[in-house]
Amino acid sequence: MCDFYVDKSLIEVFEGATEILKQELGCKGEKPIVYEQGIFKGEEYKIVIEQSKITIFAGNSVSAMYGVMTLSELSVLNDNVLNLCEVHDYPDMEFRAISDDISRGQVPTFSNFKDTIKRLARYKYNVYMPYIEDVFKFECEPEWGKYSDGLTGEEWKSICEYGKKHNVTVRPIVNLLGHYDKNTSLKKLQDLSIKRDDLTPTPVINPLNPQVRPLISKMLDEIVDAFGSGIIHGGGDEPCEITEVYGKEKGSQMFIDHFTWINEELKKRNCSLMMYADMFAPPWGDYSIGTEKALLLPKGVDFVFWDYAAREEYPYVKKLCDLGLEVTISPGSWTWNRFSSHIKTVWDNTKGLIKTANGRCKRMIMSNWGDGGDCPRELAWPGVLVGSNFSWSNSSDYSFEQFYDIFHKSFFGLEKPQSSKLYDIYHYDDVLKAEDNFVFKAEMYKNPYEYIDVPYKENAKVLVQKMQNILVNIKNINPKKNQEAFNTLILAAMRIKFTAEKIVELPSEIVICKEDALKYAEKTIYFSEQIEQIRKYHKKIWFETNRYSEWDYVDMLYKNLRDSFNMYTRWLCTFKMNRKRLG
């Protein structure tokens, strides 16, 4: 493949072509890769690979870029060998986005924002949606997120401009009702939230508070100034307390009135409203107000249906579409409150939503959440590529097994024997045979004074050995690219092994003799040392791609656990039966 070079006709329409293709094709040969104007719609393109040249036919710079990306991927996946062929390609969905939770975990460095955008462009996403709770530094309200390392309007403008260079539009998700958690901890902003009967604040903004609308109006001015006109996602998911405190009837009217007003405010600014649909189509809980009530909102609102469970059918998608609403589907990357992405669940979730939508939804957002705060954002990339596959080609006939191998070769440059060794990092709960995907993760930070009581202790022994083997083998795996994302898999394996060992080795019942106490003390010393090693490694990879924000919280989790092991060790070493158990 070193026989080719990038012709100026292609560089003129897409100046990044040489940089992308030189890694695989060398671009120093004698055969040209040329561009020809074609009669194509939107993002459609065609590639013709001949013995003497490669031609990318496209109608504009965006579709030419996608042709270059495909040519690069063909080279990667076929070990730099390109057979003579023709490729005619176009997307099934016009809006292909990821949501990136930068509010409940890592806030990326500017360099990492750029890397993310470039990767999204490579995998044919055309929208990047940062999820913003308190990481926009509003001039109109300096208290908003004052303890978070947020971005100014000018910084967001720079990110938007960078996105344009790679044909990725940056559109914000700004939660303007629920998930107000961190701001609720600030004295001044507590007054803006709904209060319970005992006057404690909830994590939901109170639409009845007369201060709310003037503040949100000013916030929208700054948001639109930073991101420009277009879609603004106003959040609206999981505002459970609005119906809990005010009841279903009043709470539903408050919700409808609030987002009707936001929609009108956005129209004044040449923007349109996108919002989550769970208040009308709930995947869980008892806070929703009925599907038909969605019709009370103004026509043209885009409803984002999310449900992250793996199902064959999602009836609410059909119900919302049958009502004549604009519907965007949103599967999830399955990284939140976990050690890693459960790729098979992401695959089944995304495939099921695409199948249910049956061509009626032209927009998809792959959701990446940071619940828990300590799960690296880089773990979401398998899910991002699942979304890329299905949003571009709804009828993709890849099997999950084929996709798994393709992901690792495309993203890390790994061959099948290497990628197969990583499988249990992603699917560790399958080894445990744990019914709840999140319970095992919660065991990690539990105080060692709490007795271990899980039904999968024997399976945890198997998991310890599997992670031990992976950590040995992974030293011999050298990814060709995206090393920082690969490092998060190493961290995941370390944390999975630690948690499984903790379940296996710590007492599951009361210690009744000094001999047993001393035996366990040796183990708790070991766990204290292990958690400190994990903390240091996590800190290292955190700051490779992220700002300081939220590291102090994660650091606290590690240090508290380490200190509790040290305290427990001292208690065990001075064990006496008549002494009360601490905890």
What DSSP string describes 72-101?
A: HHHHHHTTT---SEEEEE--S-SEEEEEEE
Give the architecture-level CATH label for domain 95-409.
Alpha-Beta Barrel (3.20)
Q: What is the pTM of this model?
A: 0.96
CA 383, 389, 391, 394 dihedral sign is negative
CATH class of 416-573: mainly alpha
- For residues 433-459, average pLDDT: 90
Under 8 Å between Cβ of 347 and 403: yes
Residue 512 pLDDT > 90, yes or no? no
Where residue 578 falls among pLDDT bands split at 50, 70, 90? Answer: very low
Residue 1 pLDDT > 50, yes or no? yes
- Percent of the chain scoring above 70 in pLDDT: 98
**Residue pLDDT, tens place only, 368-419:** 999 989 999 999 999 999 999 999 999 999 999 999 999 999 999 999 999 9
**Residue pLDDT, tens place only, 53-88:** 999 999 999 999 999 999 999 999 999 889 999 999
Where residue 583 falls among pLDDT bands split at 50, 70, 90? Answer: very low
Angle in degrees, 0-180, between the axes of helices 514-545 and 483-505, rounded to the nearest 10: 170
Please report where in the chains the tokens 């292909």 appear, as a residue. Answer: 96
The domain made up of 4-89 is a member of CATH 3.60.21.10 = no
pLDDT at 436: 80
Rounded to whole angstroms, how far apart are CA atoms 345 and 358?
A: 20
- For residues 333-358, average pLDDT: 97
Residue 339 pLDDT > 90, yes or no? yes
Chain-centroid distance of CA 157 in Å reads 22
Residue 451 pLDDT > 90, yes or no? no
pLDDT at 539: 98
**Residue pLDDT, tens place only, 476-496:** 999 999 999 999 999 999 999
pLDDT at 435: 81
pLDDT at 29: 80
**Torsion angles phi and psi, residue 300, rounded to 5:** 105, -10
**pLDDT top residue among 1 and 391:** 391
Where residue 577 falls among pLDDT bands split at 50, 70, 90? Answer: low
**Residue pLDDT, tens place only, 123-137:** 999 999 999 999 999
Phi-psi label, residue 322: left if phi above 0, alpha if psi -120 to 50, beta otherwise: alpha
pLDDT at 26: 67
Residue 154 pLDDT > 80, yes or no? yes
* Strand 54-58 relative to strand 201-205, pairing: unpaired
Where residue 425 falls among pLDDT bands split at 50, 70, 90? Answer: very high
Long-range contacts of 476-482 (CB under 8 A, 24+ apart): 477/414, 477/418, 477/421, 477/422, 479/412, 479/413, 479/414, 480/412, 480/413, 480/414, 481/411, 481/412, 481/413, 482/119, 482/381, 482/411, 482/412
Q: Which of 16-25, 205-214, 227-236 has the lowest mean pLDDT?
A: 16-25
Provide the 3-class DSSP secondary structure of residue 515. Answer: helix
| Dihedral angle, C-alpha 263, 225, 169, 301, nearest 10 ° | 0
Mean pLDDT across the chain, nearest whole number?
Answer: 95
Q: How do the domains of the chain map onto residue ranges?
A: 4-89, 95-409, 416-573
- For residues 543-550, average pLDDT: 92
- For residues 170-192, average pLDDT: 95
**Torsion angles phi and psi, residue 168, rounded to 5:** -115, 120
**Residue pLDDT, tens place only, 250-273:** 999 999 999 999 999 999 999 999
Helices (H) and strands (E) in the chain, counts: 21, 16
